[in-house]
Amino acid sequence: MFPTQRPRRLRTTPAMRRLVAETEVRPRNLILPMFVREGVTEPVPIASMPGVVQHSRDSLRKAAAEAVAAGVGGLMLFGVPEHYDAVGSAGVDPDGVLNVALADVRAEVGDDAVIMSDCCLDEFTDHGHCGVLDESGAVDNDATLAVYAEMAVAQAEAGAHMVGPSGMMDGQVGVIREALDGAGHTDTGILAYTVKYASAFYGPFREAVNSQLKGDRKTYQQDPPNAREALRELALDLEEGADAVMVKPAMSYLDIVRVVADNADVPVAAYQISGEYAMVEAAAANGWLDRDRTILETLTGIRRAGADLVLTYWATEVATRLT
């Protein structure tokens, strides 16, 4: 008996496969994370993330313009300060590296891309945690919220279209929304890091931001074995006013991306993080993978799982390839 069903008919030519493709990656779906380092005049390579740099102010503006010209939908900025303290004061300082960078990029690209800011203290504290510490050395959730509120307003005033609270503090979205609205920034959006796992894949990012971390973040980031907990975090962030939600990391948590996408009524983002990037680059450098095909396959998988937006360090490269 010959097969009565032949699915291969829809795979016969590139044109046929393109015609019936169920999932698409377009430049507008991509968000480029970018690092800017205080006190440097030239980009500083990040050894564990080949091709990624800590930008100077000038190189940041140039790279932002290139990303926008390629059609990248958004830019997520992280700051690397020269000086750290216990409360991360550089993060709220209008003249701090991240706020100055936001103003620079907004002046460079205007509204042609969505400019996003990492609204968290880990880049600015001398202990590397995402919040201020209490007398016992634990992260003080509610004291941290007050700083996040101040930080979000400073970032909005610097030029951020959206702020990205990534610290996984309980109540962070609601406090930030109230602060933004109270300061007249009702149009500034919140991209909530809703489901952020305590992952081993953040290693290269620690180099990228010169992390001062002592210990770990397991008491506030989500535990990798837990899935139902993600829905609780999602419900809370939506109730508090999140305009978009994120799952981080992406590739090891595609099941969570799908669960969040099936239950969210706002756009869903997923962050293809530093360790995921570094693994592909390392394998490709050894000749073990076809680099270009692998990159696009990983991004397609994240989109297929349900992500509307993907943060990826390959955003400009892929957008250029797709246009």
CB burial of 201-219 (b: ≥16 within 10 Å; e: otherwise) equals: bbbbbebbbbbeeeeebee
Q: Is the dihedral of CA 288, 210, 224, 228 positive or negative?
A: negative
The single-letter code of the amino acid at 192 is: A
- Give the strand pairing for 53-55 and 44-45: antiparallel
Tokens representing 321 are 């390839």
Residue with tokens 């100055």: 100
d(CA 188, CA 177): 9
d(CA 259, CA 227): 9
Is 218 among the catalytic positions? no
Task: Answer whether 209's CB lies under 8 Å from 233's CB.
Answer: no
pLDDT for 34 equals: 97
Could you tell me which of 127, 120, 118, 119 has the C-alpha nearest to residue 85? 127
Dihedral pair phi/psi, residue 181, rounded to 5°: -65, -40
pLDDT for 215 equals: 77
Domains and CATH numbers, the chain: 24-322 (3.20.20.70)
Annotated active-site residue in 62, 196, 214, 218 = 196
Facing residues of 197 across strands?
222
The single-letter code of the amino acid at 134 is: D
Annotated active-site residue in 62, 214, 218, 248 = 248
What residue spans of 264-309 are helical by DSSP H? 274-285, 291-304
The C-alpha angle 214, 148, 96, rounded to 5 degrees, equals: 80
Is 196 among the catalytic positions? yes
d(CA 213, CA 252): 23
Tell me the mean pLDDT per 10 residues along the chain, length 323.
Answer: 89 95 97 97 95 97 98 97 94 97 98 97 93 94 97 98 96 98 98 96 85 84 96 98 97 97 98 97 97 98 98 98 90
